Structure formats: structure tokens, C-alpha cells
Amino acid sequence: MLRTIKIINFRSIDTMDLYFEKKNAIIWKNGAWKTNILQAICCIFWKKQNDFSIDEMLKLWQNFMYLEAAFDTTDFQHIVTFSYDASTNKKLITLNGKKATKKQLFETLLKISYFSPSQMNLFYLWPKTRRDFLDSILCDSFSEYEDLLKKYEKIVKNRNKVLKNIFEEKSQKSEIDFWNDQFIQAAKKIYDYKIPLHNFIQEKIKEHTDIFQNKISSIEFSYISKIDLNNIESNIKTYLEKNFERDIILWKTHIGPHIDDFDILLDGKSLVSFASRWEIKSIILTLKQIEIQYIRLVSWIQPLLLIDDLSSELDEEHFLLMLEKVKEIQIIYTGITAIEKEKNNILII
């Protein structure tokens, strides 16, 4: 549980010290500093929630940034700090007063589940948005997954470069064999993490047909891939061989986790074509709840739920529903007004 945070020279914030309880509301007018508080929490707990560079996190005209958080895990209390000096371009992360390794940070820091207004469009945006949603869960759950993902993306890039060189007659066709082998091995490792997550979501989402007030009989998580996930390596190899000439012409690798997608099916029909906006919100909230359950299951660390700009997309009914289903975890939300029914139960900042 997050207890306190100190913020110095982070984006629009000069200096700020905050303390938290189990349920917290950061209430202020729009266009202020509320989102920056959540981003600072994400930053210090290594949750990537934006594409800001380290210099863009630093307050304008300042050379030094400092974040400090006190938090509990099980029976232990910890302090983590993150500092950045622009004049020397050096950053330092400490845990309990000592310089921390990546492994120590991953095993100790709180896990963050971040809910933003943009996620309400999860099923209306391009497939990459949904891939990123699943990859984010796995990065928070397994320390090695982010490195595996980066390696896979590099291999795809290199394979595509060789395809381009073959097309331009700068390379021999035989040069693709090495990258095919590398690609198949890397894709298999990615799926070794993805498949258990898919199975978990599929099993848990079945329990939420009540969202639709008996209008449907089944909810299904449908993972969309060109690959037979029961026979990954031989299936990819066959596909690459069959489509080699097309890949050369287009300079692209047209199979693998980097082009996969997922959908939610209601009685076999796609969520977007069947459900109302209200019901889609409910499904997305359900996916966030399942994300929290999965991270807690595999990491043994209770996630912290951050909800940005509550009033823009989540009405009171939805919010109270979420509170009930995740009542055992700590919550920090931002908004312009607090939920009336919860004012006596929430620390308002």
C-alpha cells in the first residue's frame, strides 16, 4: 500500500507532499496537476504510462527532479527514490537507501493498474492498442517479459530489413534462413507467456454475464492470430515458407504476436457490433479487474489501482460497481467532484 509520495520538479508540479489511505480522491478543476500526480506514481513504480522522455518529465526551466515514495508490502515498509540531474544526464534509483538493481525493484515495488479515459476506446481503436493492453499486464507480471518483447521486435525489424535487401537484390534469399529461425524461437517464447494469460482471461470473463442483465448467455475472450497456438513453431515455419515471395515484395513479416488482436464475443457476436456504449464500459472495467487478479496471482503483490479523470467516462454507477469488485485493493482516482456515496469512506486530497 502506498503511504506517502514527495514530488519535486515533475512536469507542472513544483513541490508536493501527499499521504494516502486505502481509498483516495484527488479533486480539483480540469487542466491542473491531477494527472501529473498519477504519472509521478507510475514513474517511481516503473509503470510505463506515457511516451514522455526523462527530459519531458522534468519541470520546465529546472535541472533536477526528485520523487520519493513510502509503501508497505506484506509486513515490510520500504522507501523508493528516483532522481534525475539534467546537468549531468544522470538518474538514480534507490530502495531503502541503497542503489537498487532492476531485479530488486521488480520484486519489491508496488504493481500499478492504470485506468485512463483513453482505455474506454479500447475496442474502437487499432489492434496495437489491444496488444499493448495485454503486453502491459505481462510486463507488470514477469520481470523478463519486457526484454523478451524488445528482442522479438528487434528480430522482426531485422527480418524485414533482410526482406527489403532481397527485394533490392542486395542480399541472397538464403540469408533469410537465420532470421526465420530467430523469429520462430522468439515468437514461441512470447506465446509461452501470452497463452496462460489468454486462458486466465477466458476463464474469468465467463463469470460476468450479469453485466448484460440476462440478455446474453455467454461471454468469450477471443484471441485472433494467424498461428495455430497448439502447434506454434511448425505452423509459423510453414507460413513463412509459403508466403516468402509476398514478404519480399512487401518487406513485411505478416505473422506473429506483433499483428495479433483480440475481441470479446457475446453469444458469438463481436462486442462492438452488439453492445451499447454502457455495456462496453462494463466489459473494459471487467478486463481491468481481471488484470488486477492476474497480476496479484503471479506476482503475489497487491496492485494499486489508479483511475484518471473519473468524471469524463465513468459514471457513479460504474465506479461504485468497480469499488465493490476491487474493494480489497488501494485506489487513487482523480476528478472534479468526489462520488457522493463514498465521501465518508475516501480521503479527499
Pairing of strands 13-19, 23-27: unpaired
Higher per-residue pLDDT: 238 or 333: 238
Is 97 among the domain residues? yes
Residue 346 to residue 339: CA distance in whole angstroms: 9
Same domain, 86 and 131: no
Sheet holding 269-270, edge to edge: 219-224, 261-266, 269-270
Burial of 70: CB neighbours in 10 Å, binned 0-12, 13-18, 19+: middle
Is 197 among the domain residues? yes
Is 117 among the domain residues? no
Q: In which band, very low, low, confident or very high, does the pLDDT at 340 lie, cut at 50, 70 and 90?
A: low
Q: How confident is the model over 76-96, as a mean pLDDT?
A: 94
Task: Give the structural domain span for 242.
Answer: 125-300
Q: Poorest-confidence range of 61-75, 188-202, 226-240? A: 61-75
Position 320 pLDDT exceeds 90: no
Is 15 among the domain residues? yes
Higher per-residue pLDDT: 38 or 319: 38
Q: In which band, very low, low, confident or very high, does the pLDDT at 272 lie, cut at 50, 70 and 90?
A: confident
10 Å Cβ neighbour count for 121? 12
Q: How confident is the model over 210-222, as a mean pLDDT?
A: 85
Same domain, 202 and 227: yes
- CA distances, 308 to each of 28, 42, 182, 224 (Å): 12, 12, 40, 30
10 Å Cβ neighbour count for 340? 8
Q: How confident is the model over 29-46, as a mean pLDDT?
A: 86
Please state the separation of Cα 198 from the chain's center in Å: 15
Same domain, 217 and 149: yes
Give the tens place of pLDDT for each residue, 127-141. 999 999 999 999 999
Question: How many domains, the chain?
Answer: 2
Position 338 pLDDT exceeds 80: no
* CATH number (domain holding residue 7): 3.40.50.300
Higher per-residue pLDDT: 177 or 272: 177
Give pLDDT, residue 278: 77
Q: How does the average pLDDT of the chain come out, rounded?
A: 89
Higher per-residue pLDDT: 64 or 27: 64
Give pLDDT, residue 137: 94
Give pLDDT, residue 312: 64
Residue 334 to residue 311: CA distance in whole angstroms: 8
Q: Can you state the percent helix, strand and coil of the chain, rounding each to 5? A: 50, 25, 30
Residue 41 to residue 64: CA distance in whole angstroms: 17
Q: In which band, very low, low, confident or very high, does the pLDDT at 33 lie, cut at 50, 70 and 90?
A: confident
Closest CA to 288 of 49, 42, 120: 120
Same domain, 160 and 252: yes
Closest CA to 9 of 66, 53, 49: 66
Position 50 pLDDT exceeds 60: no
Same domain, 39 and 171: no
- CA distances, 306 to each of 9, 103, 273, 332 (Å): 21, 24, 29, 5
Q: How confident is the model over 298-309, as a mean pLDDT?
A: 86
Q: Which residue has the cell 479500447?
A: 122
- CA distances, 200 to each of 171, 210, 221, 260, 297 (Å): 44, 19, 10, 18, 10
Is 335 among the domain residues? yes
Same domain, 311 and 228: no
Q: Is 225 left (phi over 0), alpha (psi -120 to 50) or beta?
A: beta
Is 120 among the domain residues? no
Q: Which residue has the cell 503475489?
A: 300
- Collapsed DSSP state (helix, strand, coil) of residue 307: strand
DSSP string of 275-295, one letter each residue: S-HHHHHHHHHHHHHHHHHHH
Alpha helices in the chain (DSSP H): 34-44, 54-57, 102-108, 127-141, 145-167, 176-205, 232-242, 244-250, 271-274, 277-299, 310-313, 316-325
Give the tens place of pLDDT for each residue, 151-183. 999 999 999 999 999 999 999 999 999 999 999
Is 119 among the domain residues? no
Position 201 pLDDT exceeds 60: yes
Closest CA to 6 of 31, 43, 32, 56: 43
| Structure-block grid coordinates of residue 324 | 465493490
Domain limit, last residue, from 284, 300, 316: 300
* CATH number (domain holding residue 254): 1.20.1050.90
Position 314 pLDDT exceeds 70: no
Q: In which band, very low, low, confident or very high, does the pLDDT at 325 lie, cut at 50, 70 and 90?
A: confident
| Structure-block grid coordinates of residue 216 | 446474453
